[in-house]
A and B are shown apart, each in its own frame.
Chain A
Amino acid sequence: MLERVDKAKKQIHNTVDALGRSVNIMEVCGTHTVAIFRSGIRSALPESVKLLSGPGCPVCVTDQGYIDTVMDLAAREDCLIATYGDMIRVPGKNGSLETMNRSNVHVVLSSDDAVQLACAHPDKTVVFVAVGFETTTPATAVAVMTAEKMDLSNFCILSAHKLVVPAMQALLSDTKNKIDAFLCPGHVSVIIGSDAYRPVVEQFSRPCVVAGFEPVQVMEGIAEICRQLADESPQVKSLYSAVVTAQGNTRAWELIEAYFEPYDGPWRGLGCIPNGTLRLKRQYKRFDALVRFGIEEIPKEEPNGCLCGQVLCGLINPPQCGLFDAVCTPDTPVGPCMVSSEGACSAWYKYGRRGKVHHD
């Protein structure tokens, strides 16, 4: 194992020396961000290799307007909120789901638990806080399918499900972007398959390398990216062949496509990305919380002074935000990137303040 790390490290140093310029690699996935910090990978890289945290933490990219809508629903007497644990500390206009201290907020580990909650409380309407990328979307689709089969009238979802590839394309379409390559998410790729990144390579000529979360795979992923950049041969490559296939999980994709359709929905910091967000198809609107409660969702500004949006686009690192480690800490988070354990600000706060890291 150590030999493989050493070999990758040497390859990275050699290719970057030969390139003679800095290399900006965006790790799209929040779990990669955390794995990179925990393993101390940054300190093993040459100064000229910069790792940028991308928009791959679902909590972080969820628009403020969505958070406020969840808070409004949580304040209703006739609603039960079923949410993944990551969401309960995200600040909304009046505190967070956690500080509201309402007995109608239930943390669930699975969309299936939300359906069970609806079965157990026929007098309330259960709203499932449906966030996440292609990894969690099929689970939401199954929940809607289950509710449909059971003819469960007191279950609905508030969808903020996101698609990874449109976000990568939107980032590269911004002329201010400084991204040379992507380290692609491991588990999202299990669902979408590595072929899903082909349009990014073909349209923007950027390497897209899928890696798992072991430090050795992350190092080898970075080495592969550097090699492709040096050879000027951007490609899609998966180093996570144990679980990632070219086509992905086709059953999961069928379910996403059966229940959801893409639209130009809002992302925190990135605005409305063309076809980047998923909503329920017309024939399933009775399970859509927006329709059920007649809500018009309006994108909201980020909290004053919060630069989560720029962090998510890889334009700045968290310490460059004036709130970081001053008023914004994991105990008193202002923006979502500090709330989520997979958020870039949280990872920098926990691990990046120790030892040698690049702050530029």
Chain B
Amino acid sequence: MCLAVPARIVELMDDRGVADAMGNRWSVRTTLLPDVQVGDIVLIHAGFAIATVDEEEARKTWELFAEIAEFQERQAPSSKEEGTV
């Protein structure tokens, strides 16, 4: 539940927007980051943007997620993962 994902804000209307991470898009709220703009990369946690991050930091995390996904497939193919929020 404590996991947050960096994503780019690609649409924004007031405090409701759409975020994109590695091609996945979903609705987010930016209520906690009043100054955020389209194009900013933010850390999304449980549907809310909680901090802005730079491109380099986001890229490192996206790479790490890809690695973890690969590792999980290799190590524990039968285990169920709950939706991390």
Contacts and interface: CB of A to CB of B under 8 A. Distances in A.
For the complex, would chain B's binding face be called helix, strand, loop or mixed by DSSP majority? loop
Contacts of A214: 60, 64
B83 interface: yes
Contacts of B45: 135-136, 139, 187, 190
A199 to B, nearest CB: 21
A335 interface: no
B54 to A, nearest CB: 7
Contacts, number: 127
A341 interface: yes
A136 B46 contact: yes
Interface stretch (A52-60, A152-160, A264-272, A309-317): A52-60
B50 A187 contact: yes
A276 interface: no
B50 A56 contact: no
Contact of A243 (B43, B64, B71, B75): B43
Contacts of A351: 75
Contacts of B4: 135, 187, 190
A95 B18 CA distance: 37
A304 B52 CA distance: 45
B47 to A, nearest CB: 2
A255 B32 contact: yes
B70 to A, nearest CB: 11
A142 B46 contact: no
Interface string A76-110: 00000000111011000000000000000001011
A325 to B, nearest CB: 14
Given A85-B83, A138-B50, A187-B3, 6 more contacts: A58-B2, A86-B82, A109-B46, A112-B27, A112-B47, A135-B45
